[in-house]
Amino acid sequence: MKVKQISIFIENQPGRLVAILEALKAKNISMLALFVSDTTDFGIVRMILSDTALGIKTLREANFAVKESVVLKQEIPDVPGGLLETIARPLTEAGINLEYFYAFLDTTPGKATIIIKVADPDKAEEVLSR
């Protein structure tokens, strides 16, 4: 399933994540998934939010650089080889590059859910739905 993700580019300094979270909390926006990566000077915070449009507006008003992109939300079996057989191999065989992915908690026993970033989400969604 295609979902909207936001990416926030921030300085790698104490308090920057707190400022993002406070801005979202003030507008009652929940995070459904979160991934943070960093370098020495900068970081990228990727989020799936309960209200993407309001989240973008809120964070831009708080002077954050925010980008929206389409990613896939995919349920996979929580077993050895689940990621390999349901995501990595099918995308590779279809010639689709898996740019990055991250997992988040799923309350369904035996299932895991991941967010997948690929160059062609339409084609990837078609491949993964088989």
Does position 107 have pLDDT exceeding 90, yes or no?
A: no
Look up the CATH superfamily of 71-128: VC0802-like (3.30.2130.10)
pLDDT for 9 = 96
Nearest to 122 by CA among 96, 101, 102: 96
Domain range 2-70, CATH class: alpha beta
Mean pLDDT of 10-17: 91
State how far the Cα of 108 lies from the Cα of 23, in Å rounded to an integer.
30
Same fold, 2-70 and 71-128: yes
Domains of the chain, by residue range, sit at 2-70, 71-128
Contacts for 124 with CB less than 8 Å, ≥ 6 apart: 72, 91, 94, 96, 116, 118
Torsional class of 99: left (φ above 0), alpha (ψ -120 to 50), beta (otherwise): alpha
61 in helix, strand or coil?
helix
Question: In this predicted model, what pLDDT tens digit does every residue of 42-79 receive, in sequence order?
Answer: 999 999 999 999 999 999 999 999 999 999 999 899 89
State how far the Cα of 67 lies from the Cα of 85, in Å rounded to an integer.
31
> What mean pLDDT is reported for the chain?
92
Confidence of residue 30 (pLDDT cuts 50, 70, 90): very high
Q: Which of 48-52, 95-99, 102-106 has the lowest mean pLDDT?
A: 102-106
pLDDT for 35 = 93
